[in-house]
Amino acid sequence: MKKIYFLFLVLPSFCMAQDDSLLVQKGINLKEVIVSESNANATQVISKIDLQLRPTNSAQDLLRLVPGLFIAQHAGGGKAEQIFLRGFDCDHGTDFSVNIDGMPVNMVSHAHGQGYADFHFVIPETVDKLKVFKGPYNTAYGDFATSGAGEFSTKNNIGKSMLKLEGGQFDTYRGLLMLDLLQGKHLFTKYNENFYVAGEYNYTNSYFESKQHFNRYNIFTKYSAQLNARNYFSFSGSTFSSHWDASGQIPNRAVNDGAITRFGSIDNTEGGKTGRTNFNASLTTTLKNGAVIKNQAYYSYYDFSLYSNFTFFLHDSINGDQINQTESGRNIYGYKFTLEKNNLVGGKNFKTLMGAGTRIDDGQSSLRHSVKRVILDTFSIGHLNQQNAYAFLDESINLTSKLTLNMGVRFDYFYFKYHNYRSDSLSGMKQVPKVSPKLNLYYNLSDDVQLYAHAGYGFHSNDARSVVVKSSQNNLPTALGYELGSTFKLGKSIIVNAAAWGIDLQSELVYVGDEAIVEITGATRRLGADLSVRWQLNNNIFIDGDLNYNHGRYLALPSGSNYIPLAPGLTSTGGISYLKSKGFNGSLRYRYMNSRPANEDNSTVALGYFLMDAVLNYTTPKFVIGLSAENILNTRWNQAQFDTESRLKNETQSVTELHYTPGTPFYLKGSITFLF
pLDDT for 101-128, tens place per residue? 999 999 999 999 999 999 999 999 999 8
Q: Is residue 8 part of a domain?
A: no
Cβ atoms within 10 Å of 333's Cβ, excluding its own: 14
CA neighbor of 103 nearest in space, from 292, 274, 238: 238
Percent helix, strand and coil across the chain, each rounded to 5?
5, 60, 35
Residue type, 55: P
What is the number of helices (H) and of strands (E) in the chain?
Answer: 3, 37
Report the C-alpha gap between 340 and 439 in whole angstroms.
Answer: 18
Could you give the count of Cα atoms lying within 13 Å of 68 in the half-sphere of its Cβ?
A: 36
- CA 442 to chain CA centroid, nearest Å: 27
The answer to whether the CB of 440 falls within 8 A of the CB of 453 is yes
| Residue-level pLDDT at 42 | 38
| Residue-level pLDDT at 470 | 78
Q: Pairing between strand 96-100 and 148-154?
A: parallel
pLDDT for 640-674, tens place per residue? 999 999 999 999 999 999 999 999 999 999 999 99
Report the C-alpha gap between 499 and 484 in whole angstroms.
Answer: 6
How many domains, in total, are found in the chain?
1
Distances (CA, A) of 274 to 244, 304, 325: 9, 4, 11
| Beta-bridge mates of residue 100 | 103, 152
Q: Is residue 199 part of a domain?
A: yes
Q: Is residue 5 part of a domain?
A: no
Q: Which residues of 558-578 are buried (b: 16+ CB within 10 A; e: fewer)?
A: eeeebbbbbbbbbbbbbbbbb
Q: Is residue 422 part of a domain?
A: yes
| Residue-level pLDDT at 63 | 80
What average pLDDT does the chain have? 90
Which helix H or strand E contains 256, and what residues bound it? helix 252-256
| Residue-level pLDDT at 50 | 58
Q: Which residues of 599-622 are buried (b: 16+ CB within 10 A; e: fewer)?
A: bbeeebebebbebbbbbbbebeee
DSSP symbol at 60: G
Compute, in degrees rounded to 10, the torsion defined by CA atoms 436, 461, 507, 509: -160
Q: Is residue 186 part of a domain?
A: yes
Q: Is residue 589 part of a domain?
A: yes
CATH code: domain of residue 270:
2.40.170.20
| Residue-level pLDDT at 472 | 64
The answer to whether the CB of 438 falls within 8 A of the CB of 457 is yes
Q: Containing domain of residue 99, as a range? A: 14-675
Report the C-alpha gap between 57 and 627 in whole angstroms.
Answer: 13
Assign residue 583 a region: left if phi > 0, alpha if psi is -120 to 50, beta otherwise? left
Q: Is residue 7 part of a domain?
A: no
Residue type, 505: L
Give the pTM. 0.92
Q: Is residue 4 part of a domain?
A: no
Q: Tell me the residue ranges of DSSP E strands in 181-256.
A: 193-204, 214-226, 231-246, 250-251
Q: pLDDT below 50 — which residues of the chain?
A: 1-26, 39-42, 44-49
